[in-house]
Amino acid sequence: DTGVSQDPRHKITKRGQNVTFRCDPISEHNRLYWYRQTLGQGPEFLTYFQNEAQLEKSRLLSDRFSAERPKGSFSTLEIQRTEQGDSAMYLCASSFPNPTDTQYFGPGTRLTVL
Amino acid sequence: AQSVTQPDIHITVSEGASLELRCNYSYGATPYLFWYVQSPGQGLQLLLKYFSGDTLVQGIKGFEAEFKRSQSSFNLRKPSVHWSDAAEYFCAVVGAYSGGGADGLTFGKGTHLIIQP
């Protein structure tokens, strides 16, 4: 399967703990996006990378959130000192570089903060 | 700032009946518009997209959508729905947004489609 993969699929953590999620994009894609989706809402843009460069960050991405894509391939999203409000589905997508290019989404990582 | 409105939170349609899901957008320039479908436990899948040319676009699974600039709408249609079409449908626009992300998608809140036998 050459689609976008995310790991883990589910994560349960206690408030105050740090968590890290991984996204492996489609190999030919140089753009990688992170979104967050809460219950009953559409996905909300968090940040994106072109190759290893992080080009944009949403105001939703507080200082507790950090994303990396060190070699322009896979990416990690870390949340420090998790809060209950961080509970959501975290989605990763990848694409070629043009805005009209389709963003292909992974299955998501569901985070539950107790 | 751009935005997407999907006025219908839930829609119930009988199997075999026609379907129209509404989407209105707000964006200052020519928008790039998308419809995605999300089934339980599945990732978002692109149904179709519009960025220029013919305002009636065809997608996968028998779906089509029409871009109407005068109404700022991009409604999704299907002439005859199947039980497998039951899912969450999201309209999205890409472009400059309030957070500055030029190419991040801005999604609507989604429409939950229920198919009655």
Tens digit of each residue's pLDDT (9 = 90 or more) over A26-46:
999 999 999 999 998 999 999
Cβ–Cβ < 8 Å for B22, B35: no
What part of A 40-99 touches B (C-beta under 8 Å)? 40-45, 47-48, 55-60, 91, 93, 99
Alpha-carbon distances, residue A113 vs A15, A62, A81, A84, B76 (angstroms): 6, 17, 10, 5, 36
Residue A61: the pLDDT is: 85
Verify whether the Cβ–Cβ distance A91 to B95 is below 8 Å: no
Residue B101: the pLDDT is: 46
Q: Exposed/middle/buried for B107, CB within 10 Å: 0-12, 13-18, 19+? A: buried
Q: What single-letter amino acid sits at A62? A: S
Verify whether the Cβ–Cβ distance B104 to A56 is below 8 Å: yes
Verify whether the Cβ–Cβ distance A47 to B97 is below 8 Å: no
User: Each residue of A66-86: pLDDT tens digit?
Assistant: 999 998 899 999 999 999 999
Q: What single-letter amino acid sits at B67? A: F
Model confidence at B43: pLDDT above 80? yes
Q: Is the dihedral of CA A95, A97, A100, A101 positive or negative?
A: negative
Residue from B103, B107, B109, B112 to probe the interface with A (highest A Cβ count within 10 Å): B103
Candidates B43, B45, B103; nearest CB to A108:
B43
Mean pLDDT of A2-6: 92
User: Using 50, 70 and 90 to split pLDDT, how confident is the model at A55?
Assistant: confident
Mean pLDDT of B44-63: 93
User: Each residue of B70-98: pLDDT tens digit?
Assistant: 999 999 999 999 999 999 999 999 864 43
Model confidence at A98: pLDDT above 70? yes
Residue B61: name the closest of B41, B95, B36 by CA: B36
Q: Quickly tell me which residue has 């949340």 as its tokens.
A: A79
User: Using 50, 70 and 90 to split pLDDT, how confident is the model at B99?
Assistant: very low
Report the gap between the CA of B52 and the closest CA in chain A (Å).
Answer: 10
Which residues neighbour A27 within 8 Å (Cβ) at sequence distance 6 or greater? A2, A73
* Cβ neighbours of A60 in B, within 8 Å: 99
Q: Exposed/middle/buried for B83, CB within 10 Å: 0-12, 13-18, 19+? A: exposed
Bridge partners (DSSP) listed for residue B25: B4
